[in-house]
Structure 1
């Protein structure tokens, strides 16, 4: 049951139903189901079907294809957080004998390992995984096509390797690890490796006639970590909430944020889309959306989250092509976020304040560039330019008494308060940059010193 402020307005619901109705009719797909989550809870779902009276609902399973990759990435980061591997580790350290050289775990997660996009023939998405019983059958004779780490090149075999890595390190099958470590803690009991009724059948729709052909729903075997899963709109709304905020039962908010962070440059000409660790990151309608799209013969799927807006959307259809489910899900996010902007939490003053930190707030100068330092609501510090563009970051306290940058140019850099022998504040040191209370004040700790004659006019 949703609370009143979570329910969508009638006009928004009408716009959403209209959009998916148009999508089903124009794309000529047998059925489409979509859902919206706000602040981590499903607040709307709708469907259209070519069979009167048999529209799917948010509990109907569809195959979600490559959205599976995001789940696989979650399992890998769990291993990292437990100290069982490092993302910079070569795959060979944990899974020897693959023949892919020194590609790292991080490169596999970001599709920057240089591996081929697909496995050798026959087309793996329409043939049983039993035809590829070993990793060598998935990788083929020439698994690496590009220099490792140099470009983003989407690779399904790369996520097969990650699935095998999980099994080797965890000592359990990919499917069992996924069920135990992700699906059960997130209450995603309708997400499975094989269809469980009610589940949609997959279809191919003839491009030039209104007729259909059933598509095979094969078990992908070793390729399962790249695209095996079946899920529902309701379950994927739960997963969207996890991608936005994390869940300590599965991954911390910081580790989930790492999943969402772009880790590889896009292909040339595709700068509106980036890739994190098992997640796609796109810009649409002025928003940053994080999630993944998916397709397998008979099905297309899309899941996007706007963390800033607190809105997520899912779109699922049972047709091989015709409907861009990812684009539909992104449009649904935009409809809701534009019609019903997120209501911010009320401002509240700090419950405690460190007076020494408070004394540091206000204007500082990097050379002549004015910046402002302020306390954040969570007790951190934020440094931003006061006019024009420039560098800024949010900082959190470090164990050594300094402050560590979290974002922007100063991410990972250390901010320190430098004091004079009498204990008064001399300046701020940020990665060797000096910030003083006045611009080039004589006697301040300005690198290179300050001209003794001081400031002057043009004719002086």
Structure 2
């Protein structure tokens, strides 16, 4: 007999009984989606959860065992969602100035810097140590950013046997997770998912922090976010993982392995309650852990989508997926016996989690996306109330209004925070927000002008002559003859 349960709260990620925070019809639709997912996916149990405006507002589950439906505190293995945690550790190092995403790995990881090829690969005299060193040296040329975005060209998996099903002590050294020929594509050329790449990033964190990556994660991220139920090894109550026969309704337990050096690619266990905190963090950041601007950077596409799935992409340690017109960010995960997904939609202020204890079957990525869409569509969040700026300087106010790039009409608007946005007056075109630098220039934040500098150019009398945005001249009149329009323009006739 199957049983289901649900809890919810309107107060925060700590959870609570009663299903508050969402309307009864919404809760019914969410529980129905979980029940259908558990049945159709033929998984022993399935947990779904929804986060809205930084709070866990609903958690529901379905189980094959009467009276034993899991709750928001039951651990499941979350597989490659682990990578998003490792990515946050790396971005913390970047924000602290300890590394740059353009740095080659060898700049920070001595094993890859000191590796020497020795005997040529493929020759009869090449010994194992020399071949291992060749693999490390090849990895050392790759950049931190390429590893984060899976554009390094590294192999998807380790040399055999398959790391997910074998003890980590079979691969005690970094060379053991790479092999002799780890680079399969030219670096930076294409997206190619790499589990060994995140083993290297975990080693990078250990090198720069001087402690195991799991310890750095606990003290720098998990404890500040209140994620006490996210651990490297399972802690009761924890679901057991199962393999379900593809053609018969029978199953058997899956073994749990400590994956050692490969742990940064998929070792973590967590709960719906903890992952609700993680989803809230991925949307808004947290002072002392990672700022909102850095999380926004991580959610931006950093790797091209594969031609076979143009609705999927990858940022810096975060998967991206376009579903039903929404761009979702987060990560999926799988390990023997378990499947997991976390998706967030910052535009909606909604996130969703799906956890199952089956090796295959339930489509947890689609289930989590559906839970998010059900909530966002049925109960769309209210936008923040408009409010005026406390004060805006006269120098900013004089720049607001219409501008022209050639004959194209643009508008420069200043928001309540004093941040400018430039975009076409009608239709689609090149638009961007800016952040203001200390030297008074503005830097584009997205689109064609991302990273480009906008300068306010003044005439000899101090009046504004024009705006210069990466050599694009914006004037108050179309082809203003008093401004230095490239190529010149004699006037209208």
What's the TM-score bracket when you normalise by the shorter of the two chains?
over 0.9
Structure-to-structure mapping, 1:294-313, within 5 angstroms: 294-313=333-352
Structure-to-structure mapping, 1:225-304, within 5 angstroms: 225-304=264-343
Corresponding residue for 2:61?
47
With normalisation by structure 2, the TM-score equals: 0.90
Root-mean-square deviation (Å): 1.4
Q: Once the 2 structures are TM-superposed, how far is the Cα of residue 421 of structure 1 from its aligned partner?
A: 1.2
Verify: 1:70 aligned to 2:78, yes or no: no
Q: Once the 2 structures are TM-superposed, how far is the Cα of residue 354 of structure 1 from its aligned partner?
A: 1.3
Corresponding residue for 1:381?
420
With normalisation by structure 1, the TM-score equals: 0.96
Q: Which residue of 91, 96, 105 maps to 2:144?
A: 105
Q: Once the 2 structures are TM-superposed, how far is the Cα of residue 3 of structure 1 from its aligned partner?
A: 4.8
Alignment partners' CA distance in 2, 1:180 and 1:330? 31
- Structure 2, unaligned runs of 5 or more: 1-8, 13-18, 116-135
Q: Which residue of 346, 363, 367 maps to 2:402?
A: 363
Corresponding residue for 2:487?
448
After superposition, the Cα gap between the structure-2 partners of 1:260 and 1:442, relative to the gap in structure 1 and judged at 3 Å, is closer
Secondary structure in structure 2 of the residue aligned to 1:169: helix
Alignment partners' CA distance in 1, 2:396 and 2:207? 48
Corresponding residue for 2:30?
16
Corresponding residue for 2:122?
none
Q: Once the 2 structures are TM-superposed, how far is the Cα of residue 451 of structure 1 from its aligned partner?
A: 2.4
Alignment partners' CA distance in 2, 1:244 and 1:187? 16
Corresponding residue for 1:2?
10
Q: Which moved more, 1:399-408 or 1:160-169?
A: 399-408
- Structure 1, unaligned runs of 5 or more: 456-460
Corresponding residue for 1:93?
107
Q: Once the 2 structures are TM-superposed, how far is the Cα of residue 248 of structure 1 from its aligned partner?
A: 1.5
Corresponding residue for 1:58?
72
Corresponding residue for 2:125?
none
Secondary structure in structure 1 of the residue aligned to 2:88: helix
Corresponding residue for 1:351?
390
Q: Which residue of 218, 223, 242 maps to 1:184?
A: 223
Q: Deviations over 1:5-50 (max 9, x none)?
A: 9811100000000000011111110000010010111000000000
Conserved 8 A contact 2:159-2:178:
yes
Structure-to-structure mapping, 1:82-231, within 5 angstroms: 82-95=96-109, 96=112, 97=115, 98-99=136-137, 100-231=139-270
Q: Deviations over 1:136-158 (max 9, x none)?
A: 21111211111111111101011
Q: Which residue of 399, 402, 407 maps to 2:441?
A: 402
Conserved 8 A contact 1:404-1:413:
yes
Q: Deviations over 1:112-154 (max 9, x none)?
A: 1111100111111111111111112111121111111111110
Secondary structure in structure 2 of the residue aligned to 1:440: coil
Corresponding residue for 2:354?
315
Q: Which moved more, 1:113-122 or 1:194-203?
A: 113-122
Corresponding residue for 2:131?
none
Q: Deviations over 1:333-359 (max 9, x none)?
A: 111011011101111111112122112
Conserved 8 A contact 2:389-2:415:
no
Secondary structure in structure 1 of the residue aligned to 2:398: helix
Conserved 8 A contact 2:11-2:55:
no
Q: Deviations over 1:362-383 (max 9, x none)?
A: 1111110000011112111111
Q: Which moved more, 1:191-200 or 1:5-14?
A: 5-14
Q: Deviations over 1:175-195 (max 9, x none)?
A: 111111111110000000000
Corresponding residue for 2:431?
392
Conserved 8 A contact 2:37-2:363:
no
Alignment partners' CA distance in 1, 2:465 and 2:325? 42
Q: Deviations over 1:152-175 (max 9, x none)?
A: 110101101111111111110011
After superposition, the Cα gap between the structure-2 partners of 1:434 and 1:218, relative to the gap in structure 1 and judged at 3 Å, is same
Secondary structure in structure 1 of the residue aligned to 2:224: coil
Corresponding residue for 1:458?
none
Alignment partners' CA distance in 1, 2:482 and 2:92? 52
Corresponding residue for 2:43?
29
Secondary structure in structure 2 of the residue aligned to 1:384: strand
Number of residues of Structure 1 aligned to a counterpart in Structure 2: 454
Conserved 8 A contact 2:423-2:432:
yes
Q: Once the 2 structures are TM-superposed, how far is the Cα of residue 272 of structure 1 from its aligned partner?
A: 0.6
Verify: 1:342 aligned to 2:354, yes or no: no
Alignment partners' CA distance in 1, 2:47 and 2:183? 38
Alignment partners' CA distance in 1, 2:104 and 2:482? 52
Conserved 8 A contact 1:6-1:38:
no
